[in-house]
Structure 1
Amino acid sequence: MGKRRRVAERRKTTPAVVGGAIAVVVAGAGIGVYTLYGGGGAAADDRAQKSAGYSEAKKTGPLSAAEVQTAAKAFLTAWQQGKPAEAAAATNDTTAATTLLTGYTKDARLKDVTLTAGTATGAKVPFSVKATVSYKGLTKPLAYDSALTVVRGATDGEPVVDWHASVVHPELKDGDTLVTGEAGAPPVKALDRDGGEMTTARYPSLGPVLDGLREKYGTTSGGSAGVELRVVRGKESKKAELSDKTLVELSKGTPGTVRTTLSPSLQAAAEKEVAKTARASVVVMRPSTGEILAVANTNHGFNTAFQGSLAPGSTMKIITSSLLFEKNLASANKPHPCPKTFTYGGWKFQNDKKFEIKGGTFKASFARSCNTAFISQAGKLKDSDLTQQAQQVFGLGLDNWAIGVSSFDGAVPVQTAAPMGASLIGQGGVRMNPLNMASVASTVKAGVFHQPYLVSPSVDHRTLATASRAMSASTLSQLREVMQYTAAYGTAAEAMAGLGPDYGAKTGSAEVDNQKKANGWFTAYRGDLAAAGVVQAGGHGGDTAGPIVASLLKAGS
């Protein structure tokens, strides 16, 4: 009877139902007003009976609306009341939830928290957050929207909140934290190559770049730190090379100044071009120096152009061709096989729509992007040949680029059998991004690898990566010939029309598992400009990424 009495007593404290909604008003510092749904109903009774010592079989099946509402109410009410342990107990990861929710008050210095739930859609419950950031006499309001999803617990099937850090704030990845205090690094004013200030208001794509510049140069560029609420990245976010992010600035720091190599006109043009297409990314650089002149992404949250890791498809054939020329396994103007299909390592490779070229030259195979022309030579190569070519000649895959912000330097792992054959045509384990492929085209144009850079090495005296060897004169001449032929008469001709004769290009399409359309790639050079772009799920590179790249090569001339 004692247990039943205590349960009854607890029920007397249940908030009153007003107009069909529960209004929870809690007195005390740091607590606001929270509006949720109707009464707890049967789900609340089940919880009461469970706490009184009753048990039942594990619940299964779809969640009812009442279960979703009850679980959301339990979590949000406890969070608002400043009871992190109680809120965490309403999730499926008590440890992680307790840590982050405790830090919400202790480390992020957030008080006067008001949570307002919206209308649930299935098991997903949106809610808004209003709070005050307070630090050493400085205060500022914070408001944002978030959402939670209710699932059945793994042990008993009871409804609980599916825990992720993004529940607390949508900018958080799992393992990240919120901290208010002196900024981790002073702000920086990023300048273009002409001395003009670069902001996200003018160039929306540059958000990740500006965050990276602050992280790299904030403490050395002459500025002083302000006070702010910021996202501090955890281990997994750091692996993904995500930078800390400012959410609220309580007091402004004094910014330092960092000059970049970006061209204001080309950057503006690049922003305009990627905005026309979903999931597009592009990089423009100068072959003679390695200077990066523009970088833009449709998605402003992640810099795919610098940090993406995608199969480059047939644009990889530039590197493979240089290898075949060096090994005397191909010659630009000599006959070369291009059958409909070719089997290697147990895999059957084919060309687009199973086309074939009878009696054609290697140049013709390159221009039309014949897969089998390359796969047919796989058995004559060592497993490590392509990897060494990419590293030694094109400076790729050594994880030693220092461009001024975080970047992925490409990967061409040593593979065997069929995956090695697939690597020759930019599939298998090969991974690149537009920065890498712009560098490949740049190397062909310049005749030697120049590591791309966004901030001049003279700013911080860092050492740029170099290649251990250059292509032979014969290899370089043939590579330029096949790329020029492709730009004039091959799969790149439509996009590159009117840009010759000092030009070269290569298209690519990279298949992705569980994606209906391939990623479309395009890399090219014209004069002292080189560029590369990708349109994810865009299909043929000549039709999607090609016009973006060609437009920027034309704009920069």
Structure 2
Amino acid sequence: MRGGTKVAIVGGVFVVVAGGVAYGGYNLWQGINGASGGGVSAASSQEKRSGPVTEDEVTNTAEEFLAAWAAGEPERAGQLTNNPVDAGPVVADFGVGAKVTEAEITAGTPVGPKVPFTVKATVTYEGQSKPWTYDSELTVVRGLSTGRALVDWKPAVVHPKLTKGATLHTGAAKVGEIKAVDRKGVELTAEKYPSLGPILAQLREKYGAKVGGQPGVETWIESGPEGTANTTLVTHVKGRPGRLETTIDAQAQAAAEQAVKQYGQASVVAVKPSTGEIRAVANSPSGGFNAAFEGRQAPGSTLKIVTAAMLLEKGLVTANGVAPCPKEVRYYTRTFHNLAYFELGNVPFSRSFAKSCNTAFIKLIDDVDDDSALGKEAQDVFGIGLDWKTGVQSVDGSVPSAVEGEAAAQYIGQGTVQMNALNIASITATAKYGTFKQPFLVSRKLDGRTFAEASRSLPDSVSRQLRAMMRAAATGEGTGAKAMASVGGDKGAKTGSAEVDHQATSNSWFAAYSDDLAAAAVVGEGGHGGDSAGKVVASVLRAG
């Protein structure tokens, strides 16, 4: 092998060391059948086989692939995958783009077809070298046409944050450094607040130059999808950061990070109702996709905040007026029921809201006489779908037009309604304040962007009734009372649960406010809204 590669196998664990790796131009190696120079020793010579890969095949294939990669032989490494055309250039880029001059790859013990490994590389730029260490893994599969044991190719093999279309680079950074601070001047870092990692990357990309940040020298991933921020992997020479003020509250952010960490999949956002300032945003898992801002899923009964506002505005019901709550109700061809088929009988609408009675809402649809009314209320009053400009990438919710049974499903936050924690936190904030204030992370004075504005506010009488109903949900026998018991101030809440793709346990949603702070959370397969998402929201409200 080239580059002075040495492979040592000790106790079933092998270490690949390549010194002075010379990654040059890339030419696709025509060795898929072992006919070209430097053939693939074990993998290409075996007869066509079928069935699951064996333990020996996993070890041998991983060893050969990692050896070829570390030795600076991207064409050979590519041929040891099930997609050599895509794999070869990415492996080559590890040396050429990232400017890796040495590489040591240590593989751990295989777990079935998966092989974890650690990369210890040296990156050299303009005569200066710096170490770069990280962990990744590969999976060995059997080739469909050849029967060979091959590495199942994906860019994340080379680096876990690498995606299709993205490339590795080392050099002068494209954007200036930032020192992001919270509303009180506390520095915000991805190390201390992991959920802010992707957000800080976007803020740097967008505002680094505007706040006077100077670029340094880095190794980074140049992102493929448009609108996605680049990801810094190694900082070789730190640039001079520009100070960027955000609306985040470090105390609330810390509480949010800790709260979502208790669950496998969870998101939470906190917003100040009177201004729209975003006080906290956290996701579990952290540091990856910002589901709190960019997710799209049914929000369950938390959307009843919007539905209740619409029904109150149209004069179809009042908070104290009777709204029957049977155990089930039929609308066109669809039958809807309450959780465990509970029924309340003829009770005030505020009690149906507080107990999250689905049927009380759906029974009123016939009187609305406009299947698009809910979407109009969501947009005209709560700002949903108005192209929010938060300062980073975000999705501002959707209540598409629907008819008959699908329209009824929307009334209780199911069907085609798409929301995330940011959207529901904003809806809750609007219910508290009475007027939509577009959520934002950085001041619009920084770039002159225009904030979205709803066409009207909630009428005072409707606003008062809606808050009273949310207060009932947060106290007494309301479904949010247990979760909100530890939260003080003028408070209100709404629970929700939503089934997605016929999952066994529904997603847990919870929305609430306390004084001038509103928050919403979703916990994947968390069950009833108050059981898990409620705990997350309460933690953030207490901290804020």
Alpha-carbon separation, structure 1, partners of 2:193 and 2:10: 48
Instruction: Give yes or no for the alignment of 1:319 onto 2:306.
Output: yes
Equivalent position to 2:538, from 547, 550, 555: 550
Alpha-carbon separation, structure 1, partners of 2:65 and 2:7: 18
Whichever residue aligns with residue 528 of structure 1, its letter is D
Q: Report % sequence identity.
A: 49
> Which consecutive residues of structure 1, in runs of 5 or more, have no partner in the other structure?
1-9, 33-42, 51-55
Offset from partner CA, 1:198-224 (integer Å, 9 cap, x none): 223433332222222112211211011
Contact 1:60 1:157 in 2 (8 A): yes
Whichever residue aligns with residue 358 of structure 1, its letter is G
SS in 1 for 2:133: strand
Contact 1:351 1:371 in 2 (8 A): yes
Alpha-carbon separation, structure 2, partners of 1:429 and 1:409: 15
SS in 1 for 2:475: helix
Aligned to 2:323: 336
Offset from partner CA, 1:375-402 (integer Å, 9 cap, x none): 233454433222222112111123x111
Map residues 392-431 of structure 1 onto 2, 5 A cutoff. 392-398=380-386, 400-431=387-418
Aligned to 1:185: 175
Alpha-carbon separation, structure 2, partners of 1:26 and 1:257: 42
Range with greater deviation from structure 2 (246-255 or 383-392): 383-392
Map residues 506-545 of structure 1 onto 2, 5 A cutoff. 506-513=494-501, 515-545=503-533
Range with greater deviation from structure 2 (500-509 or 242-251): 500-509
Contact 1:419 1:429 in 2 (8 A): yes
- TM-superposed CA distance for 1:373, in Å, is 1.7
SS in 2 for 1:440: helix
How has the CA–CA distance of structure 1 residues 20 and 463 changed in structure 2, closer, same or farther, with 3 Å as cutoff? closer
- TM-superposed CA distance for 1:317, in Å, is 0.4
Whichever residue aligns with residue 47 of structure 1, its letter is S
Alpha-carbon separation, structure 2, partners of 1:550 and 1:45: 58
- TM-superposed CA distance for 1:21, in Å, is 7.1
- TM-superposed CA distance for 1:470, in Å, is 2.2
Whichever residue aligns with residue 253 of structure 2, its letter is Q
How has the CA–CA distance of structure 1 residues 441 and 44 changed in structure 2, closer, same or farther, with 3 Å as cutoff? same
Alpha-carbon separation, structure 2, partners of 1:193 and 1:248: 28
Whichever residue aligns with residue 175 of structure 1, its letter is G
Map residues 142-541 of structure 1 onto 2, 5 A cutoff. 142-235=132-225, 238=226, 242-302=228-288, 303-379=290-366, 380-398=368-386, 400-489=387-476, 490-497=478-485, 499=487, 502-513=490-501, 515-541=503-529
> Which consecutive residues of structure 2, in runs of 5 or more, have no partner in the other structure?
24-39
Whichever residue aligns with residue 260 of structure 2, its letter is V
SS in 1 for 2:232: strand
- TM-superposed CA distance for 1:114, in Å, is 2.1
SS in 1 for 2:323: coil
- TM-superposed CA distance for 1:415, in Å, is 2.5
- TM-superposed CA distance for 1:318, in Å, is 0.5
Whichever residue aligns with residue 256 of structure 1, its letter is G
SS in 2 for 1:455: coil
Equivalent position to 1:48, from 45, 48, 60: 45
Whichever residue aligns with residue 436 of structure 2, its letter is F
Aligned to 1:83: 73
- TM-superposed CA distance for 1:547, in Å, is 3.0
Aligned to 2:30: none
Pairwise CA RMSD: 2.7
Aligned to 2:26: none
Offset from partner CA, 1:496-522 (integer Å, 9 cap, x none): 237567322111111223533222111
Equivalent position to 2:106, from 116, 120, 127: 116
Instruction: Give yes or no for the alignment of 1:96 onto 2:93.
Output: no
Offset from partner CA, 1:4-56 (integer Å, 9 cap, x none): xxxxxx9xxx9999778798988873179xxxxxxxxxx96783376xxxxx6
- TM-superposed CA distance for 1:524, in Å, is 1.5
Contact 2:211 2:242 in 1 (8 A): yes
Whichever residue aligns with residue 387 of structure 1, its letter is G
SS in 2 for 1:504: strand
Offset from partner CA, 1:284-311 (integer Å, 9 cap, x none): 2211111112223342223332222232
Structure of greater Rg: 1
Contact 2:108 2:116 in 1 (8 A): yes
Range with greater deviation from structure 2 (370-379 or 436-445): 370-379
Alpha-carbon separation, structure 2, partners of 1:482 and 1:204: 36
Equivalent position to 1:30, from 21, 32, 45: 21
- TM-superposed CA distance for 1:431, in Å, is 1.9
Alpha-carbon separation, structure 1, partners of 2:14 and 2:272: 62
- TM-superposed CA distance for 1:120, in Å, is 1.4
TM-score by length of 1: 0.87
How has the CA–CA distance of structure 1 residues 414 and 509 changed in structure 2, closer, same or farther, with 3 Å as cutoff? same
How has the CA–CA distance of structure 1 residues 148 and 527 changed in structure 2, closer, same or farther, with 3 Å as cutoff? same
How has the CA–CA distance of structure 1 residues 184 and 415 changed in structure 2, closer, same or farther, with 3 Å as cutoff? farther
TM-score by length of 2: 0.89
